[in-house]
Amino acid sequence: MVLLTIKNNDEKIFTYEVTLNTQVEKVLTEVVRLKNGVEKINRLAESVQDLITYGVSWPPERRGLLVEQAQELRLDPNLDLSSRYPLRNGLKFSSNPDPLLKRSGLSISDSESCRVLLESTTAAKNLSKSDPLKWEHIKNGLDIMKGALNIVFPKGIPLFDPVRMELDNREEVESSNLWDPTVYSLWFASKCLEDSEPLYKYLGKNEKSKCIIKVSKRGQGPPPKEKPFSDEEEKKLLLEQYKRSEVFKKLAEQEDESSSAWADNDELKKKFTGLEHISWKTGFY
């Protein structure tokens, strides 16, 4: 199995393990699937944090409205989400209004419930950083968060809540944030990998090798080459170069003999006349 370090714009996304006999198109499809899975876990973790802080979401027609505005539109301003979607063991919610007016403000104040949810998001994120990354890591991460939500909300959460929509694969995501295998292509050593070819055509037949594969949009040409140094290494080199230049300046000043006393043609004459230690000043006192 060859290890592929998948990069986009010089940024490592994850490491993917695959056999060299695998077709490039299949590799690209799986890479895109894993990338979208990682982003899904990150979005879901963020939504769970919002759920803890500001409670379940308002229905779409109620979002962004003040109580007075909801009354004018004859929408129920006191929609009793707490009774429809209660916490475990009959625990009470706290009030923490959402400044964006997207969520109900039914904050989860129970420390144990918060711990269960937060630990699930941490575990899911850690799984999404597995090296090498596999789809089972993504699936297990999503299952962990789903299980934690079932514990805290035994009757579930609203169908229109972003957390529930993510779990049901009904999330509203901009197309620019999702990868599509028809839009992207794989590159190795400034060469575009043809979808119909096997990997070994470009990477050789050594299954124990490690390669850097870059992902770039089709039609944009080869991605930029790797920098010889990281940003931190480049800063250190520039600092060392500056220090060396300062040392050379001091050495050059020390080697400059033109201002030395022994290089002065009139120095001997000044000694005989007693003028060698006289400093001249201008002005009147």
Strand partners, 103: 57
Q: Is residue 202 part of a domain?
A: no
Better pLDDT: 77 or 105:
105
By three-state DSSP, how is residue 8 classified? Answer: strand
In tens, the pLDDT along 28-75 reads: 999 999 999 999 999 999 999 999 999 999 888 777 777 677 667 766
E strands, 37-124, are 94-95, 106-107
pTM of this prediction exceeds 0.85: no
Q: Is residue 121 part of a domain?
A: yes
**Cα gap 226→189, rounded to integer Å:** 10
Task: Find tokens 């033109």 and name the residue.
Answer: 258
- List C-alpha distances in Å: 107 to 53, 91, 281: 5, 11, 81
Number of domains in the chain: 2
> Would you say 202 and 27 are in contact if contact means Cβ atoms under 8 Å apart?
no
Q: Is residue 130 part of a domain?
A: yes
In tens, the pLDDT along 212-260 reads: 999 999 888 888 777 777 778 888 888 899 888 888 888 777 665 555 6
Dihedrals phi, psi of 26, to nearest 5 degrees = -70, -40
User: Residue 93 belongs to what domain range?
Assistant: 24-183
> Shortest CA distance to 107 belongs to which of 51, 49, 28, 168?
51
Q: Is residue 207 part of a domain?
A: no
Listed residues 167, 183, 199: the one ending a domain:
183
Mean pLDDT along residues 73-96: 75
